[in-house]
Copies of this chain bind each other. A is one copy, B any other.
């Protein structure tokens, strides 16, 4: 089996490697000549066989639609495009509609596992019509762990990215949970052995998890986390999760708290807290900290 892949950044390149190791031939295209197999989308498509063709898109969400506009004229009825990137789920249905007008199938695939998935296999959540998902199933099976676990057809178009979005929302709150616990151990507690506590938690406890494994490794590599600052970025999916919650009237206090903590981590100073300090000064004569 041979498929095309557009986008060979860290994730795309790793997936190409994993697929090739499992008898799925990949013709990869990227803007960067040093990583690509072919020089153009045209050449890429030409290198695929005569039957229904599969094109896996692995690009930042912001450039997917432009790429599809250039790609779809090269495709024909029966072909299937998979968006394996981090697109917003609400973009999937309009996109699938445009492709369906030319009888091209579409599936959206949320991919989890980060840099570790290359070796151990990724977790995949797929959305799309049954026929399209069936067509790409062998590819999906080659990407997930050897035992076939970690793969789900979550629903119709959009369900894959929706499930991945929620996955990331959960991930934010899980990370916040361990982080709050860490700070409680670090701040004036009787525990003098934080790394060992995290390590011990990995076995036998209710809170054992892969993220806890990572915490322990990070703490072993940098005890006290002295070499890192508490500056944390966030990606679209965390925000989209909260927006989906707003739309569906679902309370998500822990997920939103996790996101807000990241926002705050990136502020030099908080405008909100400036006003609180100013109010306290106004009503109580409380001392304020002068800037500069």
Question: Quick one: which of A116, A191, A211 has the most chain B CB within 10 A?
Answer: A191
Chain B contacts for A225, CB-based, 8 A: 271, 274-275, 278
Contact call B183/A162, Cβ cutoff below 8 A = no
Q: How far is the CB of A164 from chain B (nearest CB, A)?
A: 9
A71 at the interface (CB under 8 A from B): no
Given contacts A173-B173, A177-B173, A263-B251, contact A228 B159 (CB under 8 A): no
CB distance from A251 to the nearest CB of B (A): 4
Does A22 make an interface contact (CB < 8 A)? no
Let me know if A17 is at the binding interface, CB within 8 A: no
Chain B residues lying within 8 Å of A282, measured Cβ to Cβ, are 214, 217-218
Q: How many residues of A contact B (CB 8 A)?
A: 139
B193 touches A155 (CB 8 A): yes
**CB pair B290 A200 closer than 8 Å:** no
> B279 contacts A230, CB within 8 Å?
no
Contact indicator A271/B187 (Cβ below 8 Å) = yes
A189 touching B162, Cβ below 8 Å? yes
Residues of B near A266 (CB, < 8 A) are 249
- CB within 8 Å of B: which of A101-125? 112-117, 120-125
A10 interface residue per 8 A CB criterion: yes
